[in-house]
A and B are shown apart, each in its own frame.
Chain A
């Protein structure tokens, strides 16, 4: 299985942009890049996903390197509610056997006033 590497923790000031990096040098051509986050004492929550092109939604943006060996989740204006563990996951197997996501330990984002 392709693996991802993320920093253990990051800090940000409120109202500033946050760039969360993820390395996935062994990604295969059919692997989607998923981002989920987990707020304290809650289940994970979907953030965004993409394959090759950069993606935007109401929560965040996903910037994918041209060689797809790395990606960056961008929170445009961090708020205290964005403090969570962010997981970068490769998945979405094109085998019809469900999207078996493999969660690593993620990046713990702290947001301060």
Chain B
């Protein structure tokens, strides 16, 4: 049982490049989330999903897109990366509204 995994762990992009971050969970959770964490700050919700085929905007969705084609995977895409998107990205999942969220180890992204 791997829990929540994230790929890649580190990535450096140039401004304007695109990339996709992959989050996978093997706990059969319905809900999945993408957060970003800037230095010295708490986590901020980017997008979330309440089930396969559904997505919704969080607190800071601009510049990101997401997809949940399979229940176990939640993809976060940056179409045209900007230096302001330099951050650590965390994925999480849980079984239901009142249940604990399980977090992945994070992806450290630097945009030059």
Residues of A within 8 A of B (CB): 32, 34, 36, 41-46, 49, 87, 92-106
Contact = CB atoms under 8 A, between A and B. Distances in A.
Among A87, A94, A98, A104: residue with most chain B CB under 10 A: A98
B2 interface: no
By secondary structure, the A interface counts as loop
Interface string B76-102: 000000000000001010101111111
Nearest to A105: B42
Interface of B: 4, 31, 33, 35, 40-45, 48-50, 56, 58-59, 90, 92, 94, 96-106
Given A98-B31, A100-B58, A103-B44, A45 B103 contact: yes
A103 B58 CA distance: 13
A67 B49 CA distance: 33
Nearest to B44: A103
A102 B45 contact: yes
Contacts of B43: 44, 101, 103
23 contacts: A34-B100, A41-B106, A42-B106, A43-B90, A43-B92, A43-B103, A43-B105, A44-B90, A44-B101, A44-B103, A46-B100, A87-B42, A92-B98, A97-B97, A98-B31, A98-B49, A100-B33, A101-B43, A101-B45, A101-B101, A103-B35, A103-B44, A105-B42
Contacts of A104: 42
B50 A97 contact: yes
B27 to A, nearest CB: 13
B45 A99 contact: no
B98 A99 contact: yes
A62 to B, nearest CB: 13
Contacts of B31: 98-99
Contacts of B40: 105
B42 A92 contact: no
